[in-house]
Amino acid sequence: MKITLIRQCTKFRLEQFRHSLVLTLLETHKRDQHLLNPTVIDSFRGYLDEVNVKFKATPGSVLITTAQGGSFCRGFDFRYVRSHARGSEDKAYKEMNDGFKDVVKDLISLPMPTIAAINGYATEAGLILALSHDHLTMKQVVEPYLRAELLSRKRSYPGYFAALIRSKVGCPLARRKLLLRDVQIDAEEAAKIGLLDWNHEVASEKDALEVAKTQADELAKKEWNGELYAEMRQLLYPELCKELELTSSHSC
């Protein structure tokens, strides 16, 4: 099975595997948490732009986002906020938050199906990153994987966070558990509340990325028109589109 390296830097690697484009957050040191700061966010957007430019006209393309190590993404890099505050942590946080909003916007606009292969903890902005994809795959293990962590941060979060969670988590009780009780959710619970649309028991035997590649092969058979696919996705989430200030040929 041929894997083609498209681009790589310290933090990211983009490869092509059959119809799948696999974007991996690289482990730069042991126990890397893949924290999001403006530098990482800008690099992430550069890779998404390359996917968009090179493959939007290729029917059957699917983007899979995954990560090395024990974390998918643990959220915002608050050490960066403190070190770049220059008298105002709020300003440094806003810069980071505004940049990440554009990452969510890029994913919601991407003209192809997207899958987040959750290999480890996805918390706070990392949960939002995962939910910005069309599909999730998770490995069924004992440890919890998804957690909002919004209350524990003691910091106000933007409207697009809540809009995305309301758009993707249909059950009000599940939303309360996720946001107001800050419950940790494993693959079995994620399947129960509708976040996984692929048999989660399959993932107990295979790595989340392998399950995602299998799902990508099934999706690729549809040979979607990319622009139409992106437009249909946006029509599904009008509240989120409004928060993202995202418009298409049809009103969100």
Q: What is the pLDDT of residue 92?
A: 82
The single residue listed with the structure tokens 């690289």 is 26
Show the tokens assigned to 117.
């292969």
Q: Domains of the chain (ranges plus CATH)?
A: 3-244 (3.90.226.10)
Burial of 201 (0-12, 13-18, 19+ CB in 10 A): exposed
**Among 126, 124, 128, 121, which Cα is nearest to 144's?**
121
Q: Strand 71-73's sheet: what is its strand order?
A: 71-73, 121-123, 146-147
Beta-carbon contacts of 183 under 8 Å, excluding residues fewer than 6 positions away, are 147, 177
Q: How far is CA 161 from CA 70, 74, 128, 155, 158, in A?
A: 24, 15, 7, 13, 6
> Could you read off the pLDDT tens digit of each residue along the chain, which spans 252 residues?
688 999 999 999 999 998 899 999 998 887 789 999 999 999 999 999 999 999 988 889 999 999 998 899 999 998 888 887 777 778 888 889 999 999 999 999 999 999 999 988 999 999 999 999 999 998 776 565 898 887 777 777 789 999 999 999 988 999 988 888 888 888 888 888 888 865 545 445 568 898 899 999 999 999 989 999 999 999 999 999 999 998 755 545
The CA distance from 42 to 48, in Å, is 10
Angle at 182 between CA 242 and CA 44, to 5 degrees: 50
Q: What is the pTM of this model?
A: 0.92
The answer to whether the beta carbons of residues 13 and 28 sit under 8 Å apart is no
Got the DSSP string for 23-42?
EEE---STT----B-HHHHH
The answer to whether the beta carbons of residues 24 and 73 sit under 8 Å apart is no
Q: What is the pLDDT of residue 136?
A: 94
Q: What is the pLDDT of residue 202?
A: 46
Q: What is the pLDDT of residue 242?
A: 95
